[in-house]
Amino acid sequence: MRRMAGHPLGTGRAIGVAWLIALLAVALSSVSPAADDIDGVGLQEEAVFRAAAAAVAPAVVRVEVAGVSEVGLGGPAEASPASGPSSGLVVGAEGWVVATSFAVPKDATQAVVTLPGGVRHVARVTGRDLARGLVLLKIDLPAGTPPLPVMEAVPRAMLSVGQGTLVLGRAWSASEPSVGVGILSATNRAWGRAVQTDASVSPANYGGALVDLEGRVIGVLAPLPAETAGMMAGTELYDSGIGFAVPLEDILRVLPRLQAGETLSPGIIGIGYASRDPFTAPPVVATCRADSPAGRAGMRVGDTIVEAGGQAVTRVAELKHAIAPLYAGDTLDLVVERGEARKRVAVRVELVAMLPPWRRPVLGLVPRRVGPDAAGNPEPAKLPEGDGEKPGVTVAWTWPDGPAARAGIVSGDRIVSVRQQPGEGGAEPASLDVSSPAILGGFLSGLDAGTVVDVAFDRGGEAKSIPVALAAQPTAVPIGVPTTEVDPATTAVERLGAAEIVRPAWAVLPAATAQAPLGVLVYCGQPAGVAGIKPSRAAEIDEALKREAERWRGAATRYGVAVVLPQSSDPQRWGREDIATLARTLDGLRLRRAIDPSRIAFAGSGAGGAFAWLAAEALGPAVRGVALLDATLPRQATISPTEPGRSRSVLIGSLPGAAVNRIDDDRRRLEAAGYPVGLLPDLAGDGLPTETLCSWVESLGVL
Amino acid sequence: MTACPMHAMAATRRWAVLAFLMTATVGAATWGATPEETIAGGARRVVKLYGAGGVRGLEAYQTGILVSPQGHIVTVLSTVLDSDGIDCVLDDGRRYPATLLGADPRRELAVLSIAGEELPFYELPPSDPPPAGEAGKPAAGVSVGTRVFALSNLFGVAVGDERVSAQHGVVAAIVPLEARRGAHEAPYRGDVYILDCTTSNPGSAGGALVDWRGRLVGMLGKELRATATGVWLNYALPIDEVARGYRNVLGAGSELSPPTPDPDGLPYDVALLGIVLVPDLLDKTPPFVESIRDGSSAARAGLRADDLLVAVNGRSVASRAAVQQALAGLADGDPVRVAVIRDGSIVECDLGPKPQAGRKP
């Protein structure tokens, strides 16, 4: 057996030579026609693979969705991987099959399952495991059908990195499973929810089986849930040497719940951490909503979590390892250290699937604009010293009839600190020195509307303090937003090109300084081809865009807003690639003008409105507002519920006689998800409400 | 969780296996070449090709396989060959200009010639014209699970006398090629070997697929995406097809490419069967039946409004477009059988022979 040494395949611990030969014997008896066909270790291993694959093949099925439509931003030529056949694994003899939510998306209630014999069955979705991206299907087997074969699960504790593995799927061909070979790369991935293999895992075998060399099932092949991989759906990883499987043992543990029709959700405790880097930062609570499991359990901003589920934790990542395998409804015991004295406090949180939508609470004051600091931080932690500015947040104007205005705060007041009034139970109330609008906003985001806050401020050298009751962020565009006196002639209207952008945006750029940075409004119109311009005439499109830009000059100057008019790369439609282009365009804008990061909004009309929403979702919390003019959201557009630090103001405007039902529907969906939704007056008349939109951008800075 | 019958079965199987082991005489097996010898032997017969490219970011290199003592090379027909000067570099560093002898556009296979001497080569299997309906069947001895080496100049990393790169894997599936490159469908429709190693790389096209016995079993294909799933395909053209394409180009044993139905021609009008599907408004509209024309073959077969088509002659159809493609792939007069979902069950319906386009049913 000299040639075994240095062989590419590690055979792992338990599989000794005896097993290899034993399985070879199976192969000899069942697969290979003759013993002298086996000549060499490599071919003997091949026989082992075949035997293991043959053992599990009867439980691997084909899964296809039926009756699900697809509307994408992409062109028809860009096939979505989700549209093709995928695989599944039998987990119950009476017709239970596990597949991935990749193959059976959330709007599908049934699927077509093809059994190894080639017979198709309709299967209904009975349960979903949203934490692991799996779905349980049930086939009603006709009377007299033999039970489906169920495979033995490898106990997770018996797995070891380096052992040989096979991947089986049935998408390529219904009559014969596809086979791939590799090793087990890791036994604990995706915060404890998956194991990893280097065998080829792709949309074609998602839902299929990860198999050991004894012909037992290790797990069900699956893309990682999006939030762990930080990618669209984990599908980008195929052909990369990385594949994941959810251990079958874990699936069998929750199988009765899925069979009973439950939807298992990832558990949320409802806190935000002070640092974004989970691997270096200690788990310090930065936000903690009162209506979250953590808030109900008595956790507070500033607490440091030191124990989770009986295990010591020192990093955010370790805490995630404790939380991720749990489902909503599970409980988790935590120990936190609190205050200067580092008092240890034990709390028990009951995880939930979803927090109630968060409605951003505000004082109703609009601070003076602040730009990014020299270090490139979006908002400076402290204002630069030595320029005469004292620490604090200076009020530019107050929202008409808002809490701050009613309490008597006026333009020019400089807020220096805020303090939550003592609540029930005599708990120490939170208090904070205010050095920037971002810090004040972060403090307010942890409170609920109705909370009374003592606002300490400086008015002409005199220190004052007034109690102000927080209100939900207003939805309307206020009347009487202050304007500047700048001459519109000083405003530049120019192309905003950048490397690799084929069709550059036009931009309206008022003058700006570091002390008076600009707000940003990206306005996406109808694609040129749709608007009636021949797509071949690039120069004509460019010219039309320039004319359109001129219409914004007045309003943009008065409110100090940079207006960007991007073009779609395909003249017929806005596409996903335009989102990346838009991000680069905004980077280019930051090089030319100082920008106030708290006043960035997207707007669009028609197809451009749908694009504006999708682009805002893709670019995240940086976009503080979206205006939809005569536009409806794509039906499949995600509307992520708001949470502290992630909300945006939405404006909806419609032409008279527009599809009011669809627009009302959008409005209800957005409001249910926690967004403040305002209505624009009718868009009839001269069309674009440039004045209203630019004053709205200024008002987005409200705190 | 209910009782798992396989637990008991698995245990029984193991005992049977151990019993078998007692009597098995493994020593009787004959030992073949080592993987190292197999790869070295294969790589000597594989050449690096350099030609046109560079425009539009396309690579200017690929791989070829020597298949005759006269210096014939089979490779993939691609834009790399759109050049007056194709350079061919052997495993030992010898460099020859190559001439394009011809191409088989359906298999996207090209034959080149170099004027070298003492050239190592793979002998292609004899290719009798395949029996009707047998085109594209895999070579004997290759099946799902067969271990293979892929030898190619992927990413052009091998230069001069450096040996081409070797990858290892298994044949993951043997299925008809349904693939596209950009918006263009691949013309070849026969079976290919899907591989579980990543061969869909620049420069891999035209490489050799060799089994662990050292036999040439296929030629690596170009970078294509699967039509159904959109994933990149790692695939190889089976050796028998390579041989047919080669002889086709040389004109020896000349095989006329069997006319293949063109599924990408005009979309087939399902209305000829009497089926009216819901309007095609979305990128992917599910093929729900909107109505059935009275007296049509669909009506006689019992199809109804609101049925959801899931398969046409066994081929899965997830969208209206897929239904039209599946029907277009059938010849006039072929029997048409569809599967639909009705009230939560699969119902099979026989629609009789496919009506000829241009005739009212």
Q: Are strands B165-176 and A263-264 parallel, antiparallel or unpaired?
A: unpaired
The DSSP output letter for A412 is: T
CA atoms within 13 A on the CB side of A566: 35
pLDDT interval class at B24 (50, 70, 90): very low
Q: Are the Cβ atoms of A35 and B29 closer than 8 angstroms?
A: yes
Percent of chain B predicted with pLDDT > 70: 75
Look at A94-103, B23-32, B273-282 and tell me which has the smallest mean pLDDT.
B23-32
Residue A669 Cα, gap to closest chain B Cα (Å): 22
Compute the average pLDDT of residues A427-439: 73
Count of pairs with CB atoms under 8 A, one residue in A, one in B: 220
The residue among A211, A186, A220, A228 whose CA lies nearest residue A86 is A220
CA distance A244 to A224: 7
Q: Which stretches within chain B are classed as H helix? A: 5-23, 35-43, 239-250, 297-300, 320-328
User: Are the C-beta atoms of residues A126 and A261 closer than 8 Å to each other?
Assistant: yes
User: Are the C-beta atoms of residues B293 and B276 closer than 8 Å to each other?
Assistant: yes
Output helix, strand, coil percentages for chain B, rounded to the nearest 5: 20, 30, 50
Q: Are the Cβ atoms of B318 and A65 closer than 8 angstroms?
A: yes
pLDDT digits (tens, 9 = 90+) for A50-88: 999 999 999 999 998 877 655 444 333 333 444 578 999
CA distance A610 to A408: 41
- Using DSSP, state whether A6 is helix, strand or coil: coil
Look at A227-231, A265-269, A579-583, B115-119 and tell me which has the smallest mean pLDDT.
A227-231
User: Are the C-beta atoms of residues A450 and A493 closer than 8 Å to each other?
Assistant: no
CA distance B66 to A293: 69
Residue A526 Cα, gap to closest chain B Cα (Å): 19
Which residue is listed with tokens 């849930």? Answer: A225
As a whole number, the mean pLDDT across chain B is: 79
Q: Apex CA A127: angle with CA A129 and CA A201, to 5°?
A: 50
CA distance A617 to A280: 28
- Using DSSP, state whether A454 is helix, strand or coil: strand
Minimum CA–CA partner of B181 in chain A: A77
Q: Are the Cβ atoms of B20 and A22 closer than 8 angstroms?
A: yes
The dihedrals phi and psi of A552, each to the nearest 5 degrees, come to -90, -10
Compute the average pLDDT of residues B180-193: 75
ipTM here:
0.75
More reliable by pLDDT, B240 or A529:
B240
Among A50, A119, A573, the strongest candidate for a mutation testing the B interface, having the largest count of B CBs within 10 A, is: A50
At B128 the pLDDT is: 61
CA distance A218 to A200: 15
Q: Are the Cβ atoms of B231 and A202 closer than 8 angstroms?
A: yes
More reliable by pLDDT, A508 or A536:
A508
Question: Exposure string (b/e) for A72-95, b if CB count within 10 Å is 16 or more?
Answer: bbeeeebbebbbbbbbbbbbbbeb
Number of CB atoms found within 10 A of residue A18's CB: 10
Q: Are the Cβ atoms of A239 and B234 closer than 8 angstroms?
A: yes
Nearest CB neighbour to A39, from listed B32, B171, B234? B32
The yes-or-no verdict on residue B288 having pLDDT over 90 is no
Q: Are the Cβ atoms of B34 and A40 closer than 8 angstroms?
A: yes
Q: Calculate helix-pair angle for A538-559, A690-699, nearest 10 degrees.
A: 60
Residues of B in contact with A122 (CB under 8 A): 341, 344-346
Residues of B in contact with A124 (CB under 8 A): 344
Q: Are the Cβ atoms of B2 and A93 closer than 8 angstroms?
A: yes
Question: What domains lie within chain A, and their CATH numbers?
Answer: 2-54 (no CATH), 58-70+80-263 (2.40.10.120), 271-350 (2.30.42.10), 361-382+389-472 (2.30.42.10), 488-699 (3.40.50.1820)
Question: What domains lie within chain B, and their CATH numbers?
Answer: 35-123+142-250 (2.40.10.120), 270-353 (2.30.42.10)
The yes-or-no verdict on residue A391 having pLDDT over 60 is yes
At B129 the pLDDT is: 52
Q: Which two tokens stand for residue A251?
A: 């699936």
Residues of B in contact with A18 (CB under 8 A): 21
Q: Calculate helix-pair angle for B5-23, A17-30, nearest 10 degrees.
A: 100
Residue B72 Cα, gap to closest chain A Cα (Å): 31
CA distance A415 to A435: 9
Residue A406 Cα, gap to closest chain B Cα (Å): 52
User: Are the C-beta atoms of residues A457 and A409 closer than 8 Å to each other?
Assistant: yes
As a whole number, the mean pLDDT across chain A is: 82
Look at A24-28, A406-410, B54-58, B161-165 and tell me which has the smallest mean pLDDT.
A24-28
Compute the average pLDDT of residues A260-284: 84
Residues of B in contact with A167 (CB under 8 A): 196
Q: Are the Cβ atoms of B30 and A36 closer than 8 angstroms?
A: yes
More reliable by pLDDT, B172 or A110:
B172
CA distance A55 to B32: 27
The yes-or-no verdict on residue A384 having pLDDT over 80 is no
CA distance B58 to B81: 12
Compute the average pLDDT of residues B212-228: 87
CA distance A544 to A330: 58
The residue among B196, B150, B139 whose CA lies nearest residue B171 is B196
Q: Are strands B109-113 and B191-195 parallel, antiparallel or unpaired?
A: unpaired
Minimum CA–CA partner of A82 in chain B: B229
Residues of A in contact with B196 (CB under 8 A): 167, 178-182, 199-200
Q: Which two tokens stand for residue A69?
A: 């439509």
CA distance A591 to A594: 8
The yes-or-no verdict on residue A5 having pLDDT over 60 is no
User: Are the C-beta atoms of residues A429 and A419 closer than 8 Å to each other?
Assistant: yes
Q: Are the Cβ atoms of B13 and A26 closer than 8 angstroms?
A: yes
The yes-or-no verdict on residue A507 having pLDDT over 90 is yes
Q: Are strands A561-565 and A518-524 parallel, antiparallel or unpaired?
A: parallel
pLDDT digits (tens, 9 = 90+) for A206-231: 999 999 999 999 999 998 754 443 33
Q: Are the Cβ atoms of A64 and B344 closer than 8 angstroms?
A: no
At A2 the pLDDT is: 34
Q: Are the Cβ atoms of A93 and B4 closer than 8 angstroms?
A: yes
pLDDT digits (tens, 9 = 90+) for A229-247: 333 445 556 777 888 999 9
Q: Which stretches within A180-331 are classed as H helix? A: 226-229, 248-259, 293-296, 316-323
Helix (H) or strand (E) holding A590: helix A576-592
The CA distances from residue A159 to A185, A213, A241, A326, in Å, are: 10, 12, 19, 21
The yes-or-no verdict on residue B22 having pLDDT over 60 is no
CA distance A217 to A227: 26
At B328 the pLDDT is: 79
Residues of B in contact with A39 (CB under 8 A): 29-32, 213
Minimum CA–CA partner of B173 in chain A: A178
Look at A268-277, B27-36, B146-155 and tell me which has the smallest mean pLDDT.
B27-36
pLDDT digits (tens, 9 = 90+) for A324-352: 889 999 999 999 998 888 899 999 999 99
Percent of chain A predicted with pLDDT > 70: 82
The DSSP output letter for A475 is: -
The residue among A323, A311, A314 whose CA lies nearest residue A349 is A323
pLDDT digits (tens, 9 = 90+) for B246-272: 998 988 544 444 444 444 444 567 878
Residue A654 Cα, gap to closest chain B Cα (Å): 24
Q: Apex CA B333: angle with CA B259 and CA B318, to 5°?
A: 80
Residues of A in contact with B24 (CB under 8 A): 21, 24-25, 28
Nearest CB neighbour to A69, from listed B14, B229, B284? B284
The yes-or-no verdict on residue A289 having pLDDT over 90 is no
Look at A602-606, B125-129, B235-239 and tell me which has the smallest mean pLDDT.
B125-129
The residue among A71, A82, A242 whose CA lies nearest residue B226 is A82
Nearest CB neighbour to B18, from listed A22, A49, A121? A22
User: Are the C-beta atoms of residues A686 and A679 closer than 8 Å to each other?
Assistant: no
CA atoms within 13 A on the CB side of A123: 30
The yes-or-no verdict on residue A415 having pLDDT over 90 is yes
CA distance B308 to B317: 10
Q: Are strands A414-420 and A452-459 parallel, antiparallel or unpaired?
A: antiparallel
Helix (H) or strand (E) holding A48: helix A41-56
CA distance A207 to A221: 5
Q: Are the Cβ atoms of A50 and B145 closer than 8 angstroms?
A: yes
Which residue is listed with tokens 């990749």? Answer: A102
User: Are the C-beta atoms of residues B145 and B171 closer than 8 Å to each other?
Assistant: yes
- The residue length of chain B stands at 361
Q: Are the Cβ atoms of B174 and A173 closer than 8 angstroms?
A: yes
